[in-house]
Every structure is written in structure tokens, then in C-alpha cells.
Chain A
Amino acid sequence: MVKKILLSLTLVCLIFSTVVLAAPGYVYLGDSGNTSGLITITRPDKDKDFSYDQGYYFSGIGKNGISVTLYRYDPNIGAYAKLYSNGAEQTFWVGASGFFWATLYLNYGDNYFIARAEDYNGTYQICPFLLTYQSSSMRGITVNFSDLPFVSSW
């Protein structure tokens, strides 16, 4: 009996820890994180940018050991879905230098992203940003950015 209880407790702990450590599959509107100062996004440097190229360099500075996971807003779900690249989720860990970067592939028009930075103790920071992919024929034409689905950090 004692053995069964211990085994169950072990299983619960293992399952619970994997749930806590993995970044969630979705970030819902209104979630603005529970801390700040884990990362600063350097590009886009104003939380909004537009691009005439489909590939966009996303970069930033973070604390050593932070994990950063990227999400894109999916209007069909009404939430930010985790990004995958070649079947692997786009999560990376910040090293001692603090630098991180990734290439994001944009759809035409507005692309709403979130970078979710999480510390080992479970505190996490939400950094939203908007990237608009425009046709190169629109070079030189000013575009007004549309509003984000949620406004907590904007």
C-alpha cells in the first residue's frame, strides 16, 4: 500500500513538473505575464515594424538561463499559438552573453507575435509585437498599424 502511494506521488510529481516546465501551447488574450525584466526585444525596437521581406530578424537581450518561446496570433482560435519550425517548437534558451535571435517567417499583412520568456522558478514575461509584411511595391507608402487583439502592453 505504501509503495503504491509513493509510486502515485512520484507519478503526480513527474507529470506536474513537465506541465510546469513546458511553455503552454497557447497564450490567451489578457495574459500579460507576472514579471518583467527577463528579456528586452531589440528588434523590432518599438514593438512594431514592417517588412518588405518575408523573413524577419527577431532579436533581443535576456538574462542567462531564460527560455523564450514564440507565438503567433491565430484568429481562428482567438489566441496566440506556439510557433513551430520543421516540427520543433520555436523555443530557445538565453546563454551567458544574453543575446538571442531568430528568423520569423511572415504572412502577408499583419502578424501579431508574442515572445514568452520564462525563468526557472516559473515567473514569466509576455512581450507582444506586431510585424506587418508588405509587398515591395508599397515601399515609401505610410501604413497605419491596426490595433492588437489585446492592449495590456500597448
Chain B
Amino acid sequence: MKKEQLKSFILTVLILIAVFLTTQIWFDKKLWPNGYNFFNSIEKMPVVGQIIDKFSTNKALNTASSFEDIMLPYRMIVSGANNARSVYLQDSSEYTVIKEKAFDVLDHLYATDIPKYTVISGGEWFQSLKGNSILMDYGTTMNLKLMLQIRKKPDSAISTLIEGFSEIIITPNDTESGGVYVYMRDNKSESYYRFSIAYDKQEVRNIIETYIGQKQQKYAFAFELNLQKTDKSIDVPVDRMYLDPLVLLPLDRVEKKPVLHMGNPFLKDVNTTVYEQVVQAFDLQPNNLRRSVNSNGTVSYIENKATVDISPNGRIDYKAVDENSGMLAETLYDKVNLVWEIASKQYNITVPNQPFVARINSDLSATNQENVSITMNYLYGGIPIIVDPASAGNDSCITAEFSENRLIKFSMLVRSIQKLEENSDAPFVLEALDKIYPIAHKNEQIDKVFTCYVVNEQEQTHNSSITWSVMQSNNIIIAK
């Protein structure tokens, strides 16, 4: 009997030890081999990942940007009779309704096996904006194939004509044949196309009539004012600026917008766990990395494959040791998805009480998709938040570089964004252009004119009011 009891006791102890050791292996990271994460690999399985997401308590807030959101048009511009025009940004309910209708039209176009199209002149393309129309302005060059992938649509015959585009125009076809026209310009070949599709033009008209807003002239495109480069000789002896024909100029002051307070989440004492989570977002294990703190307060994690620096001014930098070491992303879709995933994770870790709202602002139409730069900016109320180039050397809040399909650099300036009670006016756009003139290159085109908020990397906390900026030769100039 004693022998049996002893055996039972030993067996029980062994089982308990086995269970204890198993929990240690599963949950204690110190026992994991370099780079191994049993749960990480399980989480990434499609079905399991979806189940975990459903019950996860670490989801971003509902208004955060989804992967599709970061590729949406920057704004929708509805034009009607008497030069009436209204502009809707991403945060408005009107934008959502117009976008849904526009995408429905485009889905019809993309699904057509042999789309009917005509090659048109630039003049006709611009002319389409002067009547009833919906302009989807993406603010940067988009890749059509990538757009279709993100929207989970099959590739379209149109992607052989249009590689990169920045705008899409939809108008009702008022000729006898009826239907709807979709105008697209291929930025690469500078060819203009008008696609004709069988779609109920009255539905498009209804959207335009509903959302044209006040039937007044509040906006004009630069081409309507002839402020783009033309052959007309100018008798005035001045060094001119030229505007891109599609720069949209408000004829009055834009409406007041809230003042924002920008804060550096690393300004106050930050729990070590936050640093570790930041590192883990790059698929690295902090316990396997060498950690150091520089004299300027930058916390660095160094590993065989990459380094992660978290500086006290709120900048997170990831650098792969070489081109073979970075995180792999084979297709353009994978690259954009990776950047979005990392950026949204980092934001949720460092600013957990605010949604991550951002959009892409880099050219995605490059033929060489192995070596790509992707940049993003935060958005507030649909208005981009840019970094003052004078404070940081670049103007995007999030930048990523890929080489040979591997992420070799990722840099993100993290800021909390809070709306204050006060509102402010943006200066009249003409005043802003007057301020920019001394700094801008003369006799060169200004490609974009836009309202924005500006964050200064050198200032830990500051308020930011809406202002105007221009883009000229890929450089941002802020009207200060």
C-alpha cells in the first residue's frame, strides 16, 4: 500500500512539474529561443487570427483608419451649374455617401470585360469639371491594381491603360446614349480617357443635386482662372509662380477649424512595457535585444538583424542591419499593409486612448515595386497633419523604405492629437500664396495647395491652427 501511495505521490508531483514547466515555456519569454513565439505563429493562421481579433480587447477605436481607409480619396468635389462647387473631406457623412456612390459606379466600370473608352484631350478632361460632376481627388498618385486588391476586386482590363492616377471624374452622360462617363488620366503617359458605362445617370445626378450645397461660386480651379502655365505672354515684369491646373482655390476664407493640441506621449515617464511593445511591433523580442540608453535619452534596442531607437522627442526608428535583414513584403500590397500594420500598432501602443487616423501621401505608381518609399500623414477632420520640414528634415509623420522587398527603414513621429475648444481661421489662400512667394521657386509649377495642421518635431507639446501649405517639386512650403 505504501508503495502505491508513493507512486501516486511521485506521479502527481511529476505531472504538476510538467504543467508548471509547460506554462513557463508558453508564457515566459526568457525561455524562448531567439525570435521564436509559439503564439505569434498561431495568431497568424487565418481562422485563428480572426477568432482572436473578435475577442481581443486591444482593438483600435471604431473610428480608426482601416487599411482601406488609408487609400481613400483625400476629398470629394461636387460641381454643378453656375460654377457651384462643394468640397467634402474624409470625416464627413456626406463624403461617405458620395464615396459609396462613386465606388459603385467604378465597380461597374472595373467589372466590364471590354470597357468602352475614348482617348480625349486634356481640355476636354478639364471641361468635364465645369458642369455636373463628382471629382475624386486622391491627392497623390495611386496604383490602380493595388486599389483593386485592397477593395478585394479582381484585376480590371483598365489597369492596362491606367497605371497611376490622381483623380477620377464621374459625370452623367447627357447625350442620347445616356449612362455615365468616368474620366481618368494616366499620370505616367499623360493620356486622358473617357469611359462610357451603362449606369443610371439619374442616380449620379441625384447625388450631385443633393450635395452641391449652396448654389454659389465658392471654389475655382486654377485652370478656370488661367493661373496655370499658358502660352499667353504676361506684360507684367514679375517672376511668376504657376499653379497646377487642378489646384482648387477657395474664393473666400475657408470655414473655421478647431485648434489642435499636439503632445509627445514620451514626454512623461513611460513604462518599460511600452518600449517593449514598440519593439515587438517590429516582430522583434526585446528580451533578446541589447538595450541601451544614449546620452540624449534615446532608448535603443540592438539585434543582429535590426535596431530600434525610441527617442524622447517621440520618434520611433527601425533600421535593418542590411538589405537581407529587414521584414519581408513581396508585393506592393504587402508593403503598404505592413506599413499600415506597424504604424497603427505603434500608435495604439503609445497613444492608446486615441484612434489612429491616417492616409497615404506617397506616389504608389512606381514600376519598380521592390524598392519603394511609402509615407503617411495623420488626419484630423479629414485635414492632413504634416511635419514642419524645418524641424525634421522631412514632412511626413510616417516614412518607410523598402529595398529588395524588405523593410529597411521605418520612422514614425508619434503625437497625441486633441481638439481644443477654440477654433481658428485659415488665412485667405491668396494671403498664403503671397507669404510663400518669397521662398518658392519662381517660374516653376506649384503642384498642390492645401490646408493642413503642422507638427513641430522639436516642440514636445504645442498648439496647431489650420494653415496653408504648397507642394512644389516634391517639397512642402508652409505659409508662416
Binding site for B on A (CB under 8 A): 36-40, 42-43, 45, 53-55, 57, 59, 61-64, 95-101, 103, 136
Contacts and interface: CB of A to CB of B under 8 A. Distances in A.
Given A96-B437, A96-B438, A99-B433, 4 more contacts: A39-B236, A40-B234, A57-B220, A98-B236
Contact of A63 (B236, B241, B434, B435): B236
A136 B232 CA distance: 28
B227 interface: yes
Interface in B218-243: 220, 224-227, 230, 232, 234-238, 240-241
Contacts of B237: 37, 63
Contacts of B226: 42-43, 45, 59
A57 B217 contact: yes
B436 interface: yes
Contacts of A39: 236
A19 B238 CA distance: 29
B434 A55 contact: no
Contacts of B433: 95, 97, 99
A55 B430 contact: no
A86 to B, nearest CB: 12
Contacts of B225: 42-43, 57, 59, 101
B311 interface: no
B217 A37 contact: no
Contact of B434 (A38, A53, A96, A101): A96
B89 interface: no
Contacts of A95: 430-431, 433-434, 437
Contacts of A59: 225-227
Interface in B426-452: 430-431, 433-438
A61 B234 contact: yes
20 contacts: A37-B237, A38-B236, A40-B232, A40-B234, A42-B234, A43-B225, A43-B226, A53-B82, A55-B82, A55-B217, A57-B224, A59-B227, A61-B236, A95-B434, A95-B437, A96-B437, A97-B241, A97-B430, A98-B236, A101-B227
Contacts of A96: 434-435, 437-438
Most buried by A among B217, B236, B249, B437: B236
Interface in B409-464: 430-431, 433-438
Nearest to A53: B82
Interface SS, B side: loop
Contacts of B435: 96
B81 interface: yes
Most buried by B among A54, A99, A100: A99
A45 B230 contact: yes
Nearest to B432: A97
A57 B434 contact: no
B11 interface: no
A39 B235 CA distance: 7
A59 B431 CA distance: 15
B436 A97 contact: yes
A37 B430 contact: no
A136 to B, nearest CB: 8
Those 10 A-B pairs whose CB atoms lie nearest each other, nearest first: A95-B434, A59-B225, A42-B226, A97-B433, A96-B437, A97-B437, A96-B434, A43-B226, A55-B217, A53-B82
Nearest to A42: B226
A59 B236 CA distance: 14
A18 B159 CA distance: 65
A104 to B, nearest CB: 10
A36 B232 contact: no
A99 B227 contact: yes
Nearest to B436: A97
Nearest to B252: A103
A54 B241 CA distance: 29
Nearest to B217: A55
A61 B249 CA distance: 15
A45 B82 CA distance: 20
